[in-house]
Chains A and B, each alone.
Chain A
Amino acid sequence: KAGVTQTPRYLIKTRGQQVTLSCSPISGHRSVSWYQQTPGQGLQFLFEYFSETQRNKGNFPGRFSGRQFSNSRSEMNVSTLELGDSALYLCASSSQAGTGTYEQYFGPGTRLTVT
């Protein structure tokens, strides 16, 4: 099976702009989660989608949003970019969501730099 893919891999944006990142989960996986990784804050959970519904949301401002399509592909959007949004954005897919024991499979990430 192909792994989790994320596009683009690298992105440079200017403050105030918006950005959309894309994630394609492993075939058959219906859950997609997004994480932000920065040197200062580490890995932080953004949100989780399952069957096109947001199941969980982390403690991020409303500028961060996401959605999931019927084919389980997911996008996340960040509006009005700030310098502090520079980070590695990781997407993870799994076969299930909610409670239960299962593994997450991560994509290579999108490196976003805001100047």
Chain B
Amino acid sequence: SQQGEEDPQALSIQEGENATMNCSYKTSINNLQWYRQNSGRGLVHLILIRSNEREKHSGRLRVTLDTSKKSSSLLITASRAADTASYFCATDARNYGQNFVFGPGTRLSVLP
């Protein structure tokens, strides 16, 4: 079964609002990474959080990691129409015999 699962599958918000996406995983991990993909194009790396970190910020992005619950969340504050994309979490569990495993993604639509 898939390592990462994002929730919700789709999210629609107004510009200026915050967007929160969640990711759950099953095994121990080395780190967890979030990526953005615009309409069938390549993935853009957003942020990486190590297994010993609990929170990380990058501009309007805030990522949390709870290894006891095997979950992570991505918060995008003050969203913009340009944030419209699919967001994927990827678990790096290569220290534990796994590869990079991507979740199914959350499709975010930011309406102007």
Contacts and interface: CB of A to CB of B under 8 A. Distances in A.
A21 interface: no
B52 to A, nearest CB: 10
A56 interface: yes
B contacts with A: majority SS: strand
Give the interface size class of chain B.
20 to 34
Contacts of A105: 45
A109 B102 CA distance: 16
Contacts, number: 53
Contacts of B30: 99-101
Contact of B42 (A98, A99, A101, A107): A107
Interface residues of A, number: 25
Contacts of B41: 108-109
Contacts of A56: 94, 99
A contacts with B: majority SS: strand
A103 B101 CA distance: 14
Interface string A100-115: 1101111111010000
20 contacts: A35-B102, A43-B105, A44-B102, A45-B101, A90-B43, A92-B43, A99-B30, A99-B94, A101-B30, A101-B48, A101-B92, A103-B48, A104-B45, A104-B100, A106-B35, A106-B42, A106-B45, A107-B42, A108-B41, A108-B42
